[in-house]
A and B are shown apart, each in its own frame.
Chain A
Amino acid sequence: MKQLNPFTGASLDRSLMTQTASNQALLKKLSEAVEKGDEDVATLAAKEALSKGVDAADAIENGLTRGITAVGDRWARGDAFITEVMLSASALKAGLQVLEPALKSRGGVRRTLGQVLLGTVQGDIHDIGKAIVGAMLTAAGFEIRDLGVDIPPEKFVEEVRKAKPDIIGLSSLITASMPGQKKVIEALQQAGLRDRVKIIIGGAPVTEAYAKEIGADAYGEDAFDAVKKTKTLVG
Chain B
Amino acid sequence: MSFPREELDKIDSASLEVLKDVGVKFPDREALDALRGAGANVDYGNMIAKFPESMVRETLKRVPKKVTLCGRDSRHDVHLGMNEGTRFLPSGLGAHIYDLDTGQRRLANRDDLPKISKIVDALPNIHVLQVMVGPGDVPDRVADHYKFEAAFNNTTKHVCNCIGAVTSDDGAKDIVEIASCVVGSKEELKKKPIFSVHQCPISPLQYDVHGLRAIMEYAKNNVPVSIYSMAMAGGTSPVTIAGTLVIINCEYLAGLVLLETLNPGCPVLYGSVASIMDLKTGVMPLGAPERPIIQIGVVNLARYYGIPHGVISAGHTDAKMPGTQAGFEKAITALPVVLAGTELVMGAGAVDSANTYSYEQLVIDDEIWGALLRIARGFDVDEENLAVELIKKVGVGKHFLGEKHTLIHARKHWYPRLYTRFKGSEDVWNEEILGKKDLAAKARQKAKEILASHEIEPLEKDVQQKIRKLVIEAERHAKT
Contacts and interface: CB of A to CB of B under 8 A. Distances in A.
Interface of A: 37, 77-78, 81-84, 86-87, 89-90, 125, 127-128, 131-132, 135, 149, 221-222, 224-225, 228
B413 to A, nearest CB: 10
Contacts of A224: 422, 424, 428-429
B404 A81 contact: no
B433 interface: yes
A63 to B, nearest CB: 21
B407 to A, nearest CB: 5
Contact of B401 (A78, A128, A222, A225): A128
A26 B28 CA distance: 77
B185 interface: no
A228 B402 CA distance: 22
A87 B433 contact: no
Contact of B397 (A83, A135, A149, A221): A149
14 contacts: A78-B433, A82-B401, A83-B410, A84-B407, A86-B402, A135-B401, A221-B423, A221-B425, A221-B428, A224-B422, A224-B424, A224-B428, A224-B429, A228-B428
A228 B428 CA distance: 9
A132 B401 CA distance: 8
Q: Nearest 8 A-B pairs (CB), nearest first? A: A86-B402, A222-B424, A128-B399, A83-B407, A83-B406, A225-B428, A221-B424, A86-B401
A222 to B, nearest CB: 4
A2 to B, nearest CB: 16
Nearest to B423: A222
B392 interface: no
B398 interface: yes
Nearest to A82: B401
B262 interface: no
A89 B402 CA distance: 9
A127 to B, nearest CB: 6
Q: Could you say which of B402, B403, B404, B433 has the most chain A C-beta atoms within 10 Å of its C-beta?
A: B402
A127 B401 CA distance: 11
DSSP majority for the A interface? helix
Contacts of B202: none
A127 B398 CA distance: 7
B393 to A, nearest CB: 14
B138 interface: no
B434 interface: yes
Nearest to A90: B402
Nearest to A79: B433
Contacts of A82: 401
A84 B403 CA distance: 9
Nearest to B431: A77
B398 A135 contact: no
A37 B407 contact: yes
B210 to A, nearest CB: 50
Contacts of A86: 401-402
A70 to B, nearest CB: 16
Contacts of B399: 127-128, 131
A174 B352 CA distance: 46
A135 B406 CA distance: 15
Nearest to A39: B404
B397 A127 contact: yes
Contact of A87 (B402, B425, B428, B434): B402
A225 B424 contact: yes
A86 B422 CA distance: 19
A34 to B, nearest CB: 14
Nearest to A221: B424
Nearest to A88: B402
Contacts of B425: 221
A225 B425 CA distance: 10
A76 to B, nearest CB: 9
Of A37, A87, A89, A228, chain B has the most CB atoms within 10 Å of the CB of A87
A131 B401 contact: yes
B410 A77 contact: no
A77 B429 CA distance: 10
Contacts of A225: 424, 428
Contacts of A37: 404, 407
A77 B433 contact: yes
Nearest to B399: A128
A42 B399 CA distance: 23
A37 B410 CA distance: 15
A84 B431 CA distance: 22
A153 to B, nearest CB: 21
Nearest to A208: B425
Nearest to B407: A83
Interface string B408-438: 0010000000000011110011010110000
A78 B402 contact: no
A32 B399 CA distance: 25
Contacts of A221: 423-425, 428
A221 B424 CA distance: 6
Contacts of B401: 82-83, 86, 128, 131-132, 135
Nearest to A149: B397
Contacts of A131: 399, 401-402
Contacts of A132: 401
Contacts of A125: 397
B437 to A, nearest CB: 13
Nearest to A86: B402
Contacts of B433: 77-78
A92 to B, nearest CB: 12
A224 B398 CA distance: 22
B284 to A, nearest CB: 40
A71 to B, nearest CB: 12
B26 to A, nearest CB: 56
A222 B429 CA distance: 10
A225 B423 CA distance: 11
A86 B404 CA distance: 10
B428 A222 contact: yes
A171 to B, nearest CB: 13
A225 B407 CA distance: 24
A81 B397 contact: no
B359 to A, nearest CB: 23
Nearest to B434: A78
Nearest to B435: A78
Contacts of B428: 221-222, 224-225, 228
Interface string B328-354: 000000000000000000000000000
Count chain B CB atoms within 10 A of each CB in A78, A81, A87, A125 and give the residue with the most: A78
Contacts of B410: 81, 83
